[in-house]
Copies of this chain bind each other. A is one copy, B any other.
Amino acid sequence: MSLVVVGSVAYDGVETPHGRVDRMLGGAATYIALAASYFTKTRLVGIVGDDFADEDTRFIASRGIDLEGLERVPGKTFFWAGKYSPDMNDRETLVTDLNVFADFNPKLPESYRDSDYLLLGNIQPELQRNVLAQMKKPRLAGGDTMNFWIKDFRVELLSTIAQWDFLLINDSEARMLSGESNLKRAASKILAMGPHTLVIKRGEYGAMLFHRDAYFIVPGYLLEDVFDPTGAGDCFAGGFIGHLAEQGFDLQAGHIGRGDLSRAVIYGSVLGSFCCEKFGVERFRTLTRAEIDARFQEFRAFTSF
């Protein structure tokens, strides 16, 4: 099964209590694709400038990720810099230079259009809708969004997610999107907007899944050292859709249920937790599928009673 991932490919500057890196590979699509690449054939759609380093292209490609959809244009690659609070639960954005990403208008290569799964990273809702329109007939499509689109592009966003199978957002976004502070009520309202599946990410506290009338909650993995949480939510998304794609699940055939989706949430949690163990994408240089599966079993061990 094949997966298309659309979103930002960027350079990040990050400061956490554990250190600081001025410029390193980042971007939502990068993290999502790297995480998903452990499970399924992954195809990336993004845009970078002519400053994008060959070694970064090579690293992404080394994970078997198809880069035909990574556009390279004159100018500079999207740059973001931020600084985390001492407990790393908050971060302050220091720099957002959209650069070539400002004109990102994702076009799917012909070879991508019959892919089975689509994961839309956080970009303008209308662009997300245009991407879905370019796909032939994906088994499952969905994605992420953020406070900015919820607040200022609500109409566009609602018509976009109405077409999605799943939406992956964090708890404050779920509250903002639904206008409900209680997450159970928030989830009911969001499911009524279209998606049959909602995943609410809660950072260190884990994640919740809502699928029709069923729900599932998992606590976060207990890391002894969180070096850098940048990209953890995107890696969650990559692990989640990666598992569903690997299993070949779809809704039409009726063989996707709360149990399958819950295990996808665990794979998402596993990938998100590994992401935090090193700065940026560094953990993915050594991470193996065996480590991923071992941590999946750890989740079983520390949550069963």
Interface residues of A, Cβ cutoff 8 Å to B: 86-87, 181-185, 202, 205-206, 208, 215-220, 222-226, 259, 262-263, 265-266, 299-300, 302-305
3 smallest beta-carbon distances between A and B, as pairs: A262-B305, A217-B219, A205-B205
**What B residues does A265 contact at CB under 8 A?**
305
**Are A218 and B305 in contact (CB-based, < 8 A)?**
yes
How long is the Cα–Cα vector from A86 to B180 in the complex, in angstroms? Answer: 12
Q: A216-B303, A218-B305, A263-B305 are in contact. List 20 more A-B contacts (CB 8 A).
A: A86-B181, A87-B181, A183-B222, A184-B222, A185-B224, A202-B205, A205-B205, A205-B219, A208-B219, A208-B222, A215-B222, A217-B222, A217-B302, A218-B219, A218-B303, A259-B305, A262-B304, A262-B305, A265-B305, A299-B305
How long is the Cα–Cα vector from A266 to B184 in the complex, in angstroms? Answer: 20
Copies of this protein chain in the complex: 2
**What B residues does A185 contact at CB under 8 A?**
224
What is the chain B residue whose CB lies nearest that of A181? B87
**Are A266 and B305 in contact (CB-based, < 8 A)?**
yes
**Are A215 and B305 in contact (CB-based, < 8 A)?**
no
How long is the Cα–Cα vector from A251 to B235 in the complex, in angstroms? Answer: 42
**What B residues does A183 contact at CB under 8 A?**
222
What is the chain B residue whose CB lies nearest that of A182? B224
A183 to chain B, nearest CB (A): 7
**Are A184 and B224 in contact (CB-based, < 8 A)?**
yes
A199 to chain B, nearest CB (A): 13
**What B residues does A303 contact at CB under 8 A?**
216-218, 303
**What B residues does A219 contact at CB under 8 A?**
205-206, 208, 217-219
**Are A302 and B263 in contact (CB-based, < 8 A)?**
no
Which of A86, A185, A216, A220 has the most B CB atoms < 10 Å from its CB?
A: A216
**Are B182 and A225 in contact (CB-based, < 8 A)?**
yes
How long is the Cα–Cα vector from A266 to B219 in the complex, in angstroms? Answer: 14
List 30 A–B pairs whose Cβ atoms lie within 8 Å, in order of A's numbering.
Answer: A86-B181, A182-B223, A182-B224, A182-B225, A182-B226, A183-B222, A184-B222, A184-B224, A202-B205, A205-B205, A205-B206, A205-B219, A206-B219, A208-B219, A215-B222, A216-B302, A216-B303, A217-B219, A217-B220, A217-B222, A217-B303, A218-B219, A218-B303, A219-B219, A262-B304, A262-B305, A266-B305, A299-B305, A300-B305, A304-B304
How long is the Cα–Cα vector from A182 to B262 in the complex, in angstroms? Answer: 27
How long is the Cα–Cα vector from A303 to B299 in the complex, in angstroms? Answer: 11
**What B residues does A266 contact at CB under 8 A?**
305
What is the chain B residue whose CB lies nearest that of A219? B217
